[in-house]
Structure 1
Amino acid sequence: MIAYFDCFSGISGDMTLGALAELGVPLDWLAQNLKDQLGLDDFRLTARRVKRCGISATSVSVGAENGPERDYQAISQMIAQSRLSEPVRRMSMAMFDRLAEAEAKIHECEKARVHFHEVGGVDAIVDMVGTAMGIDYLGIEKVFASPLPLGSGSVTCSHGTLPVPAPATAALLKGVPVYGSQIPFELVTPTGAAIVTSLAREFGPVCDMVVEKTGYGAGSRDLEARANVLRIITGSRPDAGADAMVMVETCIDDMNPEIYAYVSDRLFADGARDVYMVPVYMKKGRPGVLLQVLCDNACQQDVMSRILSETSAIGVRYYPVRRRVLERRAVAVSTPYGEIAAKQVKTPEGGWRVAPEYESCRRAAEACNVALRTVYESALACFVHDRSQKRQ
């Protein structure tokens, strides 16, 4: 299942919990598991139906006693020592980790000692860990989100009166598409920014999907200009086997060719899935190279920066592409030349084929002083033999 966070009025922790509740996450279950699995006490979750500009939505509020304001180290220890599932722990830590990193840079302090103030209390822990539990409960595997609207004016916090967006929010939104508005309120809170930037794979228009459910979570204010709600749409991809990727490319005709291999290695380190160098003829008949890099949205900015800083290119093109990959898993094949690492790939017909890993074959060939082809063919033959033995 995938989810699209339509943040046309911004996002906060309460809005997210409200939308997840409408999608089917039971608040009683959420509260009980936060107490049992996380060890969080002295809070209560309440929900009520409200209308925002005529749209019916769920408003969730977290009531909490004046508990301790925890720093990043205390919260991370609480999550690590909890009985939460591994996916919930991972998502929760990603949110607090991003927030701590942003706060550490703003206040020039050690990350472990970042004191969250407004977002270190029980209510913010409920918002973020509760969101992670809700995502896991609904079986949501991928999250996408809209560009985020920023309000205007100022917000009062423990550090005084600050401009909107708050410094932590602005830091969290680095690399995320945003747009301005004249609404004189904070539309994206630090908690909301930590949630959406940690969960969302990419930001843009509604992704291709078959809609199943829609949930509306209400913000605390009733804005006159627009419905103050977060809409979360869940569904499935029309082509469940396809990944949304980005192709970044540029043409180069004036660079030392020795640099290409180095740049390729750096691009893979930046997260590129594939790097291609295609010979082309450019204007005035000059031979050149079309450098193409396939990557996901999360590392697109890093890839573009790498190309523009490490090559002689003065610009890049980028556009969305779809990629479908076959199911695969890592296996080890026992051969007369030792154990060979390989990829086992499932074919569209349901069968399996094996692809020995080059580096593993090369090391075995050098160690045994035999031809690389011999090791490769032995790995294939041993894989087929092992599978036939298992079927018997």
Structure 2
Amino acid sequence: MSHPVVCVEGLGKKYIIGHQQKERYTTLRDTLSNVGKKLLRGFGNSKFRSENPTQEEFWALRDVSFEIKQGDRVGIIGRNGAGKSTLLKILSRITEPTKGRIRIQGRVASLLEVGTGFHPELTGRENIFLNGAILGMSKAEIKRKFDEIVAFAEIEKFLDTPVKRYSSGMYVRLAFAVAAHLEPEILIVDEVLAVGDAQFQKKCLGKMDQVANEGRTVIFVSHSMGTISTLCNKALYLARGHVIDTGSADQVIKKYFSDTLQNQTEDLNELRLPGYGKQVKFVDIRLESKETNLEFGQPIRYELTVESDHNIDGLSIGSSIFSTNGNCIGSLITEEFSIRASQRLVLQLIIPNSNLAPGAYYSGFSVGFGHKKGYRQDLDIVIGRPCFEIRPTPNAQFQIANWHSNWGSIVFNDIHLLKKQVDTNNQNLISR
């Protein structure tokens, strides 16, 4: 029977947040007054310390307790800001906890940010040895694994190039290759793999699966519920720094989506993939009706609000629907449209006949261009909203019995995209 290799008891992490006071301008008198207050604080004046309105305590984690056994593959899920990355940094001994206790048995290798542990002026070859030494490996062990690391990272041509000239994708390929091949007892991976392309992500997931099958432990953070469901046998659900649920991956994922269905007010910035939404972005995504319960066979009507700082032609909307275990049921691309600078488009996307079986689902949307030319460049991606449920109807038993899981029965030509233009300067709505 496997024994616990990670034990976390009453873990808490507190940060002090500073808030800059908003002032239209600062006079010489204000500056001299502020200097005087700082001097008084330096002399220990408790009055000024206690009345300082510019600082706030923030608990990123509070009373977190759990155990991970040897050979477990644990996925950590939750919205942005839930405390996932803070937890991984504490487990990796990068950050010290404010309170609580952690016991870890075994060598830990972590991949939390692109290029963590790399020296930008050193070459890829030199950084393999440097990073290996940081992870506690001997020079002989690194030499034994060196060829495998280079082959996995696919950087043979750039092995003697300083890593400061690497792209973010090359960085993460090399960093993951080092962390995964130096035989750690515990491998910790944040969602840094999203930087790599689809083929490399598949290779990384295969490597993590191999590591777990060898009896080692994997702790993995991802917003992809499909990846968590496939790779992990257990999951930990965090929200606002607290543990909401632990257990089997499928059980915890269902709990996560059950909570999401009840809370449709998430800020899109919390659901937007990192690095997107700079040129064109979604301002709002919602079901046209306020009801999240739809009858079987009922059309799905989305209302999408998009805005841009530039004039862009040839845009299209990509839409996907996911089941609660993260599997993509199907995807579609709309016809093209244009957007002008300082204008806001309200798009109505209608799927007349989705043929979705009764159950809970969530959506993902992208806005981009180039799909007619054989490629597509996404400018903004939001995954996780809106969530909805399909409920059966008494007279639909025959239809449900003949339902099949392939969403290919949707006729893409029947997808309707209606456009309304909003001038963001005066908010006047113009139908198109």
In the superposition, the TM-score normalised over structure 2's length comes to 0.25
More helix by share: 1
Bigger relative contact order, structure 1 or 2, given CA contacts below 8 A and separation 6+? 1
